[in-house]
Amino acid sequence: MVLHGKNLYSIFAVSNHISMATAIKAIPTLRGKEAQEFLRSAAETDAITKGLEAFYALREEARKNGLQDMTLEEINEEIRVARAERDAKTR
């Protein structure tokens, strides 16, 4: 079993503080709600899943604020201005 390039056995072992051998024995015994909870928690701990969720959330926020079409140059200018304002406050 693989989820977004991560081996589910590895995720299960690390998240439950058990050896890989124990994980290999335990996963096939999961049934029903236990199996669903395991798969959900494995997906939640997957960095790719979290990264994509953050990316899409930022993208939606930009769309709501009318900023989705900003160029890289415009984004960098906004960052430069924000940093300059922050630095001016700390002086």
Question: What confidence tens digit (pLDDT) does each residue in 10-59 have?
Answer: 777 777 787 777 776 776 676 777 776 766 666 666 666 677 778 888 88
What is the pTM assigned to this prediction?
Answer: 0.39
Q: What is the pLDDT of residue 90?
A: 85
CA distance 84 to 33: 52
Phi, psi values for residue 71, rounded to 5°: -80, 165
CA distance 58 to 79: 16
